[in-house]
Amino acid sequence: MKNSMRVSFSSVSSNESFARVTIASFIAPLDPTMDELTEVKTVVSEAVTNAIIHGYEKAEDEIVTLSCSIDDNIVEITIEDTGIGISNIDEAIQPLYTSKPELERSGMGFTIMENFMDKVEIESAPGQGTTVKLIKEFQSTRSLCN
């Protein structure tokens, strides 16, 4: 199975939910377990929230882009913003690190992504924006074992 989609949407926080349903519905044909689906929704949520609150510092007239491609059982997801970017990626991905402690952020967004996905790649340049690429392989033969 080969399929891909790319969706751009306004940087308003109600679109976090939109992004979760969109990714869930796109990967549903792979028939993952509810746990797997929840994990993918959670990582997309974390990355989209980061784009809105860190990348755009809550400006609501910017654009967040979510893409997903499915190639057999490999799912590749990217979340892009053209916001402020990350100057020190090594620091940003440390568990509990947050640049916005005043917002009661947990600093666990990237840690959650690394936990739930097979691979997390971050590309970012200050003033240019951030692209987070998330890759996960789903079991393709599971339905045979049911």
Partner 1 sequence: IGEIQRFIRDDGSIKVSRSLKEIGHKIRRKRDELSKKFGRSPTVSEIASELDITVEEVVHAQEAIRAPHSIHETVYE
Ligand X SMILES: Nc1ncnc2c1ncn2[C@@H]1O[C@H](COP(=O)(O)OP(=O)(O)O)[C@@H](O)[C@H]1O
Q: Which stretch binds ligand X (CB under 6 A): 34-42, 62-70, 83-91, 137-145?
A: 83-91
Q: Is 21 one of the binding residues for its own copies (CB under 8 A)?
A: yes
Active-site pick, 36, 50, 62, 80: 50
Give the Cα separation of 118 and 101 in Å (integer): 28
Q: Which residues contact 114 (CB under 8 A, 6 or more apart)?
A: 93, 120
Q: Which two three-digit tokens encode residue 70?
A: 């499915």
Q: Answer with the entry of its own copies, partner 1, ligand X, none that 7 interacts with (C-beta below 5 to 8 A by kind).
A: its own copies
**Catalytic-residue membership of 46:** yes
Active-site pick, 16, 36, 39, 46: 46
Task: Determine the residue with CB nearest ligand X.
Answer: 109
Chosen residue from 76, 97, 114, 135 binding ligand X by CB under 6 A: 97
Site for ligand X in 49-78 (CB under 6 A): 50-51, 54-55
Active-site pick, 105, 114, 123, 142: 105
Distances in Å between the Cα of 102 and the Cα atoms of 57, 98, 99, 106, 107 are 13, 9, 9, 10, 12
Site for partner 1 in 95-114 (CB under 8 A): 106, 108, 112
**Catalytic-residue membership of 105:** yes
Q: Which two three-digit tokens encode residue 46?
A: 């974390």
Q: Within 10 Å of residue 119's Cβ, how many Cβ atoms?
A: 12
Closest C-alpha to 76, from 11, 26, 19: 26
Indicate which residues carry an active-site annotation: 46, 50, 105
